[in-house]
Every structure is written in C-alpha cells, then in structure tokens.
Amino acid sequence: MPEDLTELNLPPEETAFFFDFDGTLAEIVEDPAAVAIDATVRHALHALFALSGGAVAIVSGREIDTLDGFLAPLRLPLGGAHGSERRDSSGRLHRVEADEPAIERLAAELEDVARRHDGLLVERKRLSVALHYRRRPDLESTCRAAARAAASPGVTLLEGKMVVELKLSGRTKGDLIADFMAEEPFRGRRPIFFGDDVTDEDGFRALPQWQGIGVKVGQGQTAAAHRIADPAALRAWLQRFADRNGTRRVELAS
Ligand SMILES: [Mg+2]
C-alpha cells in the first residue's frame, strides 16, 4: 500500500475533495463537544475550496449545525449524520425525516446503560443515538453488547472508535459522496476521500465507480488504496498541497 501521497496527480480543478471530520481533520478527544480544528486546517480547506472551484465537502457522523460551528467562519458543502443530512453546493438542505418515538426508545435504552456506569456519555442526534466510552475504554464490550441488544430491525448499528451508535436511516457516507458526485461542481471529477473509521469504509467502497482515491488515516483494515499516518500528517499534507498549488496558479497566471 503506497504511503506517499505526493505521487498522486491531483489537479485541483479536476479533483473532488472529501474529508471525514473526527479523527481525520480533527484529533479525537475525550469529550466530543470539545473538538477543535487547527487554524492551518481551516486555512488549507479554504485554499483548497478556492483552488478547486468549490469541490470540497466534509462527510461526517456529526450533524451539519455542529460541523458549521467547528468550521466557522468557513461554510462548506456538508454531509452529516452518517448520510441522513446534506447541504449541497448551492446551500440547499436535504434531510431524511426523523422518527422521534423511535429515537426516544433507543435513547432510553442507552441512557439506562450510562446511568449504571460512570464516565459514559449518551449523545442524541436527530436520526441516531450515540454512546461514547472515550473516558471508559474498559467498558467497550459492555457498551457494544448494550447497543447490539437495543438494535431492532430497521436500526443500523455503527461500531466506531470509542463509540457505538444506533442509526435509523440506512444511508451511508457512500450515499453522501454519490449525491455530491451527481452535482456541480463535483460532477465529472475524480474524487479523493480521507477517513479514519469504520463508517468511512462505505465511502471508500463507493469510490471505484469514479476511479476515486481512498486514503485511510491511521491503522486498521481498509478498502482504501492509500494510507496516511494520522491527522497531523494529513494537516501537513493539506498545507503543502494548498501551498504548492496556490504557487503554481500564481506562476501560470504570470
Ligand atoms: Mg472519523
């Protein structure tokens, strides 16, 4: 598996750039609400957005409003909630309808587990409920078993890094990328997608239909053909890429 992304030919005007958020653009931290992205990442994303004519999107398990908060003042095309929400390039919002009683039932089951153990955190979203055990990695098997027990037909179980999540919609990050790829300015380009976790594999598996490039951030089995060590290495790559292409564009113009 090639480690070196510098060999990839990625003309910004012919490439569509997709990034996962947590563990990819941002480091994983104990409290998911305390995540922050480095100013260099925000700056590089902004440059990439300009260089590519707007073909940059974040695809995440987070909800769109939360992502906007982390990325501000940047406002990018976003896919959120593991595929259930999307804001396209024109700013239009696409959402899967929420089933509130079903979310309540799932939340009640996971909150019951969190009440019985210290350090667990239940996060309710519009279309899913997550149980975080970042502060209690020793409870991984307890949390996973509880989530498996709570999952009923029509509920998708996602087992991520220090989190299990029960999701009502069957849509995935692969669906999100496909939606963007069907629209301007993404259409007809070659996608590259960076992600670190299990749900990103759906995105990696969708890429061959556009001759796309998958880049796994960190260790672990993957369908991606490329790998980069960690979010810090991705930050450095992004910055070099934006600098190099920004300089090239100035040279071409002069
Ligand atoms: Mg991630």
What does pLDDT average to in each consecutive run of 10 residues of the chain (254 residues)? Answer: 74 97 92 87 95 97 94 96 93 91 94 96 92 96 95 88 90 95 98 96 97 96 95 94 78 58
CA of 243 to the centre of ligand 1 (A): 25
Q: Provide the 8-state DSSP code for 211.
A: T
| Tokens coding 188 | 């007809």
* 199 plus 233 within the same structural domain: yes
Q: Does residue 54 lie within any of the structural domains?
A: yes
Inside any domain, residue 6? no
User: What pLDDT score does 33 carry?
Assistant: 84
Round to whole Å and give the CA distance between 77 and 100: 26
User: Are residues 175 and 223 part of one domain?
Assistant: yes
Q: Find the 78 Cα to ligand 1 centroid distance in Å.
A: 14
Q: Say yes or no: 146 and 33 in one domain.
A: no
On the 0-12 / 13-18 / 19+ scale of CB atoms within 10 A, 100 is exposed
* DSSP 8-state class, residue 113: H
DSSP annotation of 96 reads P
DSSP state at residue 137: G
71 alpha carbon to ligand 1 midpoint, in Å?
A: 15
Q: Domain holding 26: CATH number?
A: 3.40.50.1000
CA distance 249 to 243: 10
pTM of the predicted structure, to 2 decimals: 0.87
pLDDT at 42: 94
Q: Is 20 annotated as catalytic?
A: yes
Residue 5 in any domain: the answer is no
**What is the Å distance from ligand 1's center to 23 Cα?**
4
208 Cα–ligand 1 center, Å: 21
Q: Is residue 4 part of a domain?
A: no
Query: Given this model, what pLDDT does residue 73 score?
Result: 93
- CB 49, CB 241: distance < 8 Å: no
State the total domains in the chain. Answer: 2
The bridge status of strand 56-59 relative to strand 15-19 is parallel
Are 220 and 196 in the same domain?
yes
Out of 20, 175, 196, 200, the active site residue is: 20
**Element spanning 42, H or E:** helix 39-51
